[in-house]
Amino acid sequence: MQEESKWLQNLKMQRVRKDKFFKNDEKSPLPEDEKEEFDGLDYFEPNPDLRFELELNEFDEKNPIEVNDTAGNVRDMLVWGEFNFQIDDCDCTLQAYKSRVGEERLFVPYKDETNGQESYGAGRYLDLYYDRHQTKEGKWLLDFNRSTLPWCAFSEKYACPYVPQENWLEVEIRAGEKNYEH
């Protein structure tokens, strides 16, 4: 119980920091004319059942794929591995990507049944870093409560990769950031 309380406290602090960054930082993706009235992002209620400690099924062969983005560009990525888990008795698989060998981050974009209604229509992202999201035993902390909107949800000046069809989930992920209303 104490671990869950610490997790919840950390999650809330992370959200406060992000809201301050969005409102005040010059690198915020918000257009300048929206910052003054911005009073924070909308989030689903924290849900500890949508936190997983998982093995990454890392692929021996890291196949390249091309991913289109919102500006019409094509991005090259490597399919690094996949996570397997269950939500509401539904078997789910998400692929993890890297833009290059040696990158210290796994990129896990996904779409779910909340997209286009409660969350951004094009999907949401999870960024997993070796130093912050991997346990001593080598498992990964896949926490959907930390799901973020791509920055193109806030401004057309950003180009964001679309979610590959392999990462379209047929369940609701009611965790993380909700849709942003301009």
Helices (H), the chain: 2-24, 32-35, 130-133
Percent of the chain with pLDDT over 70: 99
Q: Using CA atoms, how far apart are residues 84 and 61, in angstroms rounded to an integer?
A: 18
Residue 1 has pLDDT above 70, yes or no: no
Q: Could you state, in order of their start, the residue ranges of all structural domains in the chain?
A: 44-167
Q: Are 22 and 37 in contact (CB under 8 A)?
A: no
Q: Using CA atoms, how far apart are residues 166 and 61, in angstroms rounded to an integer?
A: 17
State the Rg of the chain over Cα.
16
Taking the whole predicted model, whether its pTM rises above 0.75 is answered as: yes
Q: Using CA atoms, how far apart are residues 182 and 179, in angstroms rounded to an integer?
A: 10
pLDDT attached to residue 3: 75
pLDDT attached to residue 69: 95
**pLDDT (tens digit per residue) in 52-81:** 999 999 999 999 999 999 999 999 999 999
Cβ neighbours of residue 160 closer than 8 Å, sequence gap 6 or more: 69, 70, 122, 150, 151, 152, 153
Q: pLDDT category, 34, cuts 50, 70, 90?
A: very high
**pLDDT (tens digit per residue) in 144-179:** 999 999 999 999 999 999 999 999 999 999 999 999
**pLDDT (tens digit per residue) in 14-32:** 999 999 999 999 999 999 9
